[in-house]
Amino acid sequence: MYMHILHRKICKGKGYVIMDVLEAINTRRSIRKFTGELISDDELKAILKAGFQAPSAHNLEPRDYVVIKDREIIERITEFHPYSKMLPEAGCGIVVCGDREKQPQMGFLVADCSASIQNMLLAAHGLGLGAVWCGIYAVENLVKSMSELLNLPEKIIPIGLVVVGKKAADKEPKDRYDENKIHYNTW
């Protein structure tokens, strides 16, 4: 409770939008239209920190992050990634990478990175920013092109790209809750 109040105060001082966690989860949408204005260093750090805070199998935290703001690298990504056209306008991308030496079980590695990505999407939304998850793994040519472009070591697998920026417009929340998909005790 105390930490929550403290956090609220710090964030207020930095002009952050404060959102209850369930409100953030229920209103987050993929944002693909941006104003062109870059997010601040404080915002970027808060988003990265949220990524680090995610759970991981055996608490191995087998994750690294490549922050991309360089215009040329951004353009190169849009040349091989067919669903990343929003990246130049957002101006910032974070490639979440899994370390195969720390976590050789690929299923866990993907889960660990995905949990981190989702935390970052929610953090961005909570800060009033827009973000979208662009998939990389397990599309072979995307993994290969991204690894080459970013000069990733052999053991490092790019799992997903978080595109983040100042959103141009809000998107309506979607309610996906479906009682028919919930099974109690047995199917």
Ligand X SMILES: Cc1cc2nc3c(=O)[nH]c(=O)nc-3n(C[C@H](O)[C@H](O)[C@H](O)COP(=O)(O)O)c2cc1C
The residues binding ligand X (CB under 6 A) are 29-30, 32, 83, 132-135, 174
Residue 127 CA neighbour count, 13 Å, CB half: 29
Is 11 or 149 the residue whose CB approaches ligand X more closely?
149
Is 12 or 144 the residue whose CB approaches ligand X more closely?
144
Shortest distance in whole angstroms from residue 116 CB to ligand X: 13
d(CA 31, CA 163): 9
Shortest distance in whole angstroms from residue 132 CB to ligand X: 5
Nearest residue (beta carbon) to ligand X: 135
Shortest distance in whole angstroms from residue 42 CB to ligand X: 25
* CA 22 to chain CA mean position, Å: 18
Distances (CA, A) of 34 to 65, 93, 152: 22, 13, 28
Considering only CA atoms, which of 163, 176, 100 is closest in space to residue 131?
163
Shortest distance in whole angstroms from residue 135 CB to ligand X: 3
Handedness of CA 30, 66, 122, 9 (dihedral sign): negative
Q: How many other CB atoms are there within 10 angstroms of residue 161's CB atom? A: 25
d(CA 66, CA 181): 37
Is 62 or 160 the residue whose CB approaches ligand X more closely?
160
Shortest distance in whole angstroms from residue 96 CB to ligand X: 11
Please name every residue paired with 158 in a beta bridge, in sequence order, or none if there are none.
97
Handedness of CA 148, 152, 157, 159 (dihedral sign): negative
Is 73 or 80 the residue whose CB approaches ligand X more closely?
80
Is 39 or 77 the residue whose CB approaches ligand X more closely?
77
